[in-house]
Amino acid sequence: MTAPLHLLRAEDPAAQPATLTFASPLGEMRLAAFDDGLCGAWFVDQSDVIAEGRQQHHEAEARILAQARLQLEQWYAGERETFDLPLAPRGTPFQRQVWDGLLTLPFGTTTTYGDLAHRIGRPRSVRPLALALSRNPISIIIPCHRVIGFDTALTGFGGGLKRKRALLIHEGNRYPGHAARTRRVCDGQAELALEASADSLAWATYRQAIAQ
């Protein structure tokens, strides 16, 4: 099994992923890839973000990083709801099972820790599942932000709860009839989304939301 990213030795450049850092509406993001797929996507102020990796990219890595950046930019712009990327997150078999479960959650929906545990066939593994979510190395694309507390409360997210709130507003506003759930989940911040249509809502509104 390939070692988790945080265990890869910095003194061995060949073992480091290729990286690309770009500006997103919610702050700079860093992407990481090996030839077999995207292995990381973080906001650069996350505690578990990796340092800049190799700048000499193999052809496959360069293609994956460019596709990931483009698709994330399209997602932020409201032009995309799903991603079509080769993913290669490094983790334990259980962690990968949890992350695969997250990939079945559609844009604009939320689930709870307990429901996700049932979804992946591990109903008694809620606590380990929560830990696996906290180790998710590919933010947004593997959508751990769609998991909320059983009482619809916002819970942990590597990029911070304000970003999680903004991501949920962005997705919930796209679906008529989902506004009530979004309003509960986002603790009153949904009004920012409800004041404008999905097409005209600018990310400046979200930046205002997370600044509060």
Q: Which residues are catalytic?
A: 144
Rounded CA separation 62/77 (Å):
23
The two counts, helices (H) then strands (E), for the chain are 8, 5
Q: How many CB atoms lie within 10 A of CB 179?
A: 15
Cα dihedral 136/141/142/146 (nearest 10): 100
Give me the sign of the Cα torsion angle 91, 96, 46, 152. Answer: negative
